[in-house]
Amino acid sequence: MSWETVEALPGAAHGGAFRGGAEPIVAERVGLRAVERLRLFWHSDPDHPFGRTAERVVVTPQHVYVVRRDGTKARVALDQLHGERLDRGRVIYGVRDGDDLLLSYRDDCAVQVRLAAAVRGADPVEPWRGSYGLWSSIVLSVMAWAVGGLVYVSHPIGEAIDRVSNGLYFAESVLGTLAAFGMLAFGTVVFLWAPSRWRIDAVAVTRARGVVPWLSFSVPPDRFRRAVLKDYWLRPKNGAPRHSGWWVGLELRTPTRVGSIGKVSAVDLWFVRRDQPGTPTISQRSEALDVAERLRRLLGLEPTRGG
C-alpha cells in the first residue's frame, strides 16, 4: 500500500515516527468549513465516504500528510499520485495501490496548487482569475432600476389595476406600469447574469455569474483542446479596419455549455488592448501570449494557436 500510518504531522510539537520539523512544509491547510462539511457529507458515497475526507493537509517536498475525518493520520509520497478530478465539490486525487486522496475544493488553496504540480510532474502554476463585464453590468443595472423606479412612481400598480378593471387595457397608466416592471426585471437579469468571473485551475474551468457571484458552472479540463489567441479588429463604417488588441480564450473539443444558455465551441476570457496606432505592440502581444501559455500549462492543453 502507498499510504503509511504516522503518529504526527510535520510541524507538530510532539515526536513520533516522523517528528515535527523532519520535513519542511511547503503548503498546509487546516480544518473544514461548515458548508464544506455539509456538502461533503451530502455527496459522500461508498467509494468515497465522508470519514475518508482529509480535514488537515500538509504538503512537504516529498510527501502529503493528512488527518482524515475518521481521525487516522497517514502520508503518501507525492510521486504516487496519479490523476485528479473535481467531483461535486471534492477534489479526488488517485493514489497508486491505495485509497484516493479526498479534499474539499477551494478557490484559493496552495495545497491544491502543489498537488496539481506533483500529479503533472511540473512546476506549480497559480490559478488564473479574470472578470468580464462587471462594471458595465453594475452601471446598466443601476440605470435600469432607476428608470424603472421613476416610471413606477408616475404609474403605480393600483392605478393600472383600476384601468384594467374598467376594460382600458392599453391606457397610459397600464403601459407605464408594464414598462416600469420591465425595466426593473431587465436590471435584475443584468445584475444576476450578465457579468462573468472566471477561475481556472488544474481541475476545472469555473464560471460564476452575477455581480455578486451566486451561480457557478464548472467544466473539466479534458473538455478543452487548446488556448487560442485571436486578433481583434475594429471595423468602422467609414474607414479602414484597425487592429485593437487580442482576445485570449479556450477552444473546446466539442460544443459545450460553459455557464451559457447555448453550447459554444470556444470561450473568450481576457482582452489585451493594443496601444494607440503606430506605437510598439510587442509588450502587449507578449502579455497576451503569457496568459495563453499559463492557461495551457494549468489545463495541460495542446500548444497555443493563433496570434
Q: What angle do CA 185, 187, 192 make, to 5 degrees?
A: 95
Question: Do 159 and 200 sit in the same domain of this protein?
Answer: no
Please indicate, yes or no, whether residues 71 and 89 belong to a single structural domain of this protein: yes
**DSSP per-residue string spanning 13-33:** SS-SSS-TTSS--SEEEE---
Instruction: Decide if pLDDT at 13 tops 60.
Output: no
Residue linked to cell 486525487 = 93
Grid coordinates belonging to 88? 461535486
Name the residue type at position 180.
Answer: A
**Cα–Cα distance for residue pair 83/66, rounded to 1 Å:** 18
SS3 108: coil
Indicate which CATH number applies to the domain containing 279. Answer: 2.30.29
pLDDT attached to residue 19: 47
Instruction: Taking residues 80-101, report their average pLDDT.
Output: 92
Q: What is the mean pLDDT of the chain?
A: 89
* 160 vs 172: CA distance, rounded Å: 9
Out of 174, 193, 212, pick the residue that ends a domain.
193
> Under 8 Å CB-to-CB from 129, ≥6 apart: which residues?
197, 198, 199, 200
> Does 48 share its domain with 61?
yes
Q: Which three cell numbers stand for residue 158?
A: 393600483
Across residues 193-213, what is the average pLDDT?
Answer: 94
- pLDDT given at position 276: 55
- My answer on whether 111 and 214 are in the same domain is no
Question: Is residue 201 pLDDT above 80, yes or no?
Answer: yes
- Residue that is last in its domain, among 152, 177, 193: 193
What pTM was computed for the model? 0.82
Do 157 and 232 fall within a single domain?
A: no
Q: Which of 89, 120, 151 is the last residue of a domain?
A: 120
Q: Which residues contact 24 (CB under 8 A, 6 or more apart)?
A: 10, 60, 61
SS3 call for 177: helix
Structural domain that includes position 96:
4-120
| For range 127-144, the mean pLDDT | 95
If asked whether residues 183 and 277 sit together in one domain, one would say no
Please state, in angstroms and rounded to a whole number, the distance separating the CA atoms of residues 6 and 29.
Answer: 18
Looking at per-residue pLDDT, the higher value among 263 and 272 belongs to 263
Q: Are residues 300 and 202 in the same domain?
A: yes
The CA distance from 181 to 142, in Å, is 14
**Are the C-beta atoms of 26 and 83 separated by less than 8 Å?**
no
- CA 141, 142, 145: angle at the middle one, nearest 5? 85
Q: Number of folded domains in the chain? A: 3
User: Are 115 and 12 members of one domain?
Assistant: yes
Strands 224-234 and 302-306: parallel
Is a pLDDT exceeding 90 seen at residue 148?
A: yes
Q: Which strand (E) or helix (H) includes residue 174? A: helix 172-193
Say whether both 15 and 77 belong to one domain.
yes
